[in-house]
Amino acid sequence: MNRLFLFLGTNLAVVLVLSVVLQLLGLNRTGTNTLPWLFMTALIGMGGSFISLLLSKSMALRSTGAQLIANPASPTERWLVDTVARQAKQAGIGMPDVAIFDSPTPNAFATGSDRNHALVAVSTGLLQQMTQDEAEAVLGHEVAHVANGDMVTLTLIQGVVNTFVMVFANLIASFLDRDNRDGQRGMGYFLGYMLAQSVLGVLASIVVCWFSRQREFRADTGGASLAGRMKMIAALERLRRGQTAPLPAEMAAFGISGNMLGGLAHLFATHPPLSERIEALQQAR
């Protein structure tokens, strides 16, 4: 609830500040009230993110081909469901749906609209190549994502970023088209808007990815709390030694390893390097 109030307060402040900026720059040439437009922009910016959040479970199942475990058909599936149930109870969240998706490499992800309606899925490669202790730690990491509210948090961040991109793209485009005296938006506005939105969108993704990387450290800590610190370190070591196939783009931020890039491309990585995550756990008290 506090996160919701913070989010609403932040967006209200953004709307008010941008309204003042529009007036000071004289971009409101028609004399109309810009507040409705700003609120509509915020609604659009947030709307896309929340629609994606609400559809995240069904999208994840379709994009990965994951199969829900309704009735465990093997000892492995029974262990998987029981482990998630135990960890969910420890974390104080509702029992997530549990699924398995076909992939030869070890990976896992969590998604869902809230803490009590989540999905935790693991790959067949993870179950085949990891020890039970390592797999337990991975499950703890994913349950921690759910307990920390990471899906909702990143959705809020993405929504705020979307709003900023749309508003500032409009400001830049309006400035480029300021010599248009007939009150109609010209070609300069539309070209400027598309260019500004593309550039600002890239810069905004850096912000979202930074937040995603910080949430990974928290999920590792949560996984260590639920399964044991040495088990979590062993699981990350296993991932570092092996190759992890990338998840679909919309799931990457909530996977166990995600996309880890080098150089300047690291700015667009959803996960920190595994070596940094292992070191953080080793130094934890």
Higher pLDDT pick, 253 / 4? 253
The structural domain count of the chain equals: 1
Give the rounded percent of residues in the chain with a pLDDT score beyond 70: 75
Summarised one tens digit per residue, pLDDT across range 154-184 is 888 888 888 888 888 888 887 877 766 565 6
Lowest mean pLDDT among 22-31, 242-251, 265-274: 22-31
**Other residues' Cβ atoms within 10 Å of the Cβ of residue 79:** 15
For tokens 């109870």, the residue is: 89
Q: What residues are annotated to the active site?
A: 142
Tokens of 283: 């130094």
The answer to whether 96 and 118 have CB atoms below 8 angstroms apart is yes
Token pair listed for 222: 């949560």
Phi, psi at 233, each rounded to 5°:
-65, -45
Domain span at residue 166 reads: 1-285
- Render pLDDT for 82-92 as a digit per residue (tens, 0 to 9): 999 999 999 99
Q: Could you give the CA distance from residue 99 to residue 222 in angstroms, rounded to a whole number? A: 21
Q: What is the DSSP string of 98-139?
A: EEEE--SS--EEEEESSTTSEEEEEEHHHHHHS-HHHHHHHH
For the four alpha carbons of 79, 80, 82 and 87, in that order, the dihedral sign comes to positive
Q: Looking at 71-80, 105-114, 262-271, 273-282, which range is the least confident one? A: 262-271
pTM for this predicted structure:
0.79
Q: Residue 255 pLDDT > 70, yes or no?
A: no
Length of the chain: 285
